[in-house]
Amino acid sequence: MYALAEARANIALVKYWGKSDLARNLPAVPSLSLTVDALTTRTSVHFDPARNADAVWIDRKPADPRAQERVSRHLDRVLPGRMFAEVRSSNDFPTAAGLASSASAFAALTLAASAAAGAAHDGTKLSILARQASGSAARSIFGGLVLLGVGTPGQTDSSFATPIASERDWPDLRLVIGIGIEGPKEIGSTDGMTRSEASPYYASWTASAPAEIPRAVEAIERRDLAALGAVAERSALRMHACAMASDPGVVYLRGPTVEGLHVIQKLRTRGFHAWFTCDAGPHPKALTTPADAEYVARALAEVPGIRRTIIAAPGAGALLLDGQRMAS
Ligand code: DP6
């Protein structure tokens, strides 16, 4: 009744933003992401008949009540009618940086809990389970470039992730993450999405987003970084425009984020490969090549307010660490 798993974060190149069914956490638009080899979460789950409550530890500290409740609810989903469990989760990156993505956490939790429960789910089933905890977690079940479909409102099992290309298929991709203002997000993604429904641009966002998927898939098939980068930049800017135009506006971009966008676009005019993306937080990210990654990282690090950078390559999907135990 014990298992240990690890999963990595992913960065969406075509963004998931908006829900068609809040209760089932079905996305309103399809998305496509790159699972990265940096930002890993390791999680152990031990279902224990001797326990009379769940115990959840994150980075060796007891989880706050909200996080604990979210984990317990997810365990109920993975194993209905279950016994209580001890869950230990650790990130290999500082949680305080505001990079702690729910994607790696819920992908690792889904796999560890399923294995501890003795269930041998396939990737599709794991992805459906992970999605219900956090949409982006569905994508971290797989490595490389991964698509998350929208599914059908009312049908829990209708939306899941599918790998488009493995981490070995296009090894020459790099993602430079510029770490800006640290600290927890002011508006979480779930709230940001719900609030964005009040945006006059929400209808055009959901109407225009699906067409980016075939463009991205075609670019991936051709290994055409410029085409994929153009899709990524457009998707990120449209997502933020939609959120910002809501009432009240949802603004994740900070000064250094916008400056980072300009630096990345400027690098392009100078012949470097670099395309901007940004999620529901202040950290600018650049899609680039192994040859240009160091230069792009240095240019981003020169932006006042960008504290450090991480260069990430395509990473593997969630995996079980058989026979290993989590240090407590
Ligand atoms: C901007 O997956 O965190 O990173 O399903 O409500 O948990 P919930 O949202 P979450 O949203 C991710 C939003 C995004 C874009 C993306 O990853 O596609």
pLDDT band at 129 (very low <50, low <70, confident <90, very high): very high
Reduce the DSSP state of residue 2 to 3 states and report it.
strand
Kind and range of the H or E run holding 125: helix 123-133
Q: For the chain, give the mean pLDDT.
A: 95
- The number of residues in the chain equals 328
pLDDT band at 144 (very low <50, low <70, confident <90, very high): very high
Atom of ligand 1 nearest to the CA of 188: 3
Taking CA atoms, 72 is separated from 83, 100, 188, 213, in Å, by 11, 19, 20, 34
Q: Which of 8, 14, 15, 16 to mutate to test the pocket of ligand 1 (most atoms within 8 A of CB)?
A: 16
Give the residue, by CA position, lying nearest to ligand 1 atom 4: 279
pLDDT band at 324 (very low <50, low <70, confident <90, very high): confident
Across the range 39-52, mean pLDDT stands at: 97
Across the range 193-206, mean pLDDT stands at: 98
Atom of ligand 1 nearest to the CA of 102: 3
Residue 254 is predicted with a pLDDT of: 94
Residue 231 is predicted with a pLDDT of: 98
* Residue owning tokens 């599918």: 162
Across the range 223-236, mean pLDDT stands at: 98
Across the range 201-207, mean pLDDT stands at: 98
Q: How far is the C-alpha of 215 from the C-alpha of 100, rounded, in Å? A: 29
Q: Residue 109 pLDDT > 60, yes or no?
A: yes
Mind listing the pLDDT tens digit for each residue in 248-263?
999 999 999 999 999 9
Residue 127 is encoded by which pair of tokens?
Answer: 């992805």
